[in-house]
Amino acid sequence: MTHYGTLRAWAFIAMLVGVFGMIAAFIGSIVWAFEVDGFWQTLGVLCIGLPVAIFLATIPIALSQAMRAIADVGDTVSAR
């Protein structure tokens, strides 16, 4: 039995936030690309803005994986 159920629950919530954040960042960047004026600004949004937005949106996913790893290590250590 695991003693880290709460940590795993928060990891799941962080994963959901990260996935929805990535979807929102992608849609927002595409809308932003349509809203700017000019070829170079659109290219800048797609080549710089989109990757930065997606990268920042993946932070909750990375935190989720870290929390899940901490829970796994805790379960392994407490089993011994």
For the chain, the domain total comes to 1
Q: Residue 8's pLDDT is what?
A: 94
In a domain, 18, yes or no: yes
In a domain, 79, yes or no: no
Q: Residue 3's pLDDT is what?
A: 84
In a domain, 16, yes or no: yes
In a domain, 80, yes or no: no
Q: Residue 35's pLDDT is what?
A: 95
Provide the residue range defining the domain that includes 51.
5-74
Q: Residue 1's pLDDT is what?
A: 63
Per-residue pLDDT of the chain (80 residues), as tens digits, is: 678 899 999 999 999 999 999 999 999 999 999 999 999 999 999 999 999 999 999 999 999 999 999 999 998 898 77
Work out the angle at residue 68's Cα, subtended by the Cα atoms of residues 62 and 73, and round it to the nearest 5 degrees.
125
In a domain, 36, yes or no: yes
